[in-house]
C-alpha cells in the first residue's frame, strides 16, 4: 500500500503559528496542512509541524516556542507513544 504525503498547492502552505496536534509544540516554522493519499485516491488531511518536524519537539531536542508547550504530566515515552498513535490513526484513516 503506497501512501503519499504531500502538501497542497503552495498557496495553502500557511506557516501558521498554531499548535501542532501531534507534538503539542507551536513551532517557529508553523504548522502545515499535510494531505495523504493512498493508491485509491482516498485522502485525509492533518495539520502538523511543517516539514514533519515533530520528533525533536516531542523529545525536547528543539525549543517548542515561547510558552508553547502544554503542561503535560506525560512521560517522554508516553508522549512519543501518543504521537506515534496519532500518526498511525491518521494513516489508517487514509489506507482503510
Ligand atoms: Zn508537531
Place of cell 503506497: 2
Separation of CA 64 and ligand 1 centre (Å): 9
What residue segments make up the domains of the chain, in order of their start? 3-95
pLDDT band at 11 (very low <50, low <70, confident <90, very high): very low
The pLDDT value recorded for residue 28 is: 81
3-state secondary structure of 52: helix
* d(C-alpha 76, C-alpha 63), whole Å: 15
* pTM given for the model: 0.67
pLDDT (tens digit, 9 = 90+) per residue, 21-59?
Answer: 888 888 887 888 888 777 776 678 888 888 788 888 888
Ligand 1 midpoint to CA 12 (Å): 18
What pLDDT, on the 0 to 100 scale, is given for residue 81?
Answer: 93
Residues whose beta carbons lie less than 5 angstroms from ion ligand 1: 20, 22-23, 49, 54
Over range 76-89, report the average pLDDT. Answer: 91
12 has a pLDDT exceeding 50: no
Provide the strand spans (E) within the chain. Answer: 3-6, 31-38, 43-49
Distance 96 CA to ligand 1 centre (A): 24
In whole angstroms, give the CA distance from residue 75 to residue 10.
37
Amino acid at each position: 500500500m503506497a501512501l503519499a504525503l504531500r502538501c497542497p498547492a503552495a498557496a495553502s502552505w500557511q506557516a501558521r503559528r498554531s499548535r501542532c496536534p501531534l507534538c503539542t509544540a507551536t513551532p517557529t516554522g508553523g504548522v502545515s496542512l499535510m494531505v495523504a493519499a493512498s493508491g485509491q485516491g482516498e485522502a485525509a488531511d492533518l495539520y502538523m509541524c511543517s516539514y514533519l518536524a515533530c520528533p525533536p519537539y516531542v523529545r525536547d531536542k528543539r525549543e517548542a516556542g515561547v510558552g508553547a508547550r502544554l503542561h503535560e504530566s506525560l512521560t517522554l515515552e508516553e508522549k512519543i507513544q501518543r504521537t506515534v498513535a496519532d500518526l498511525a490513526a491518521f494513516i489508517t484513516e487514509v489506507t482503510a
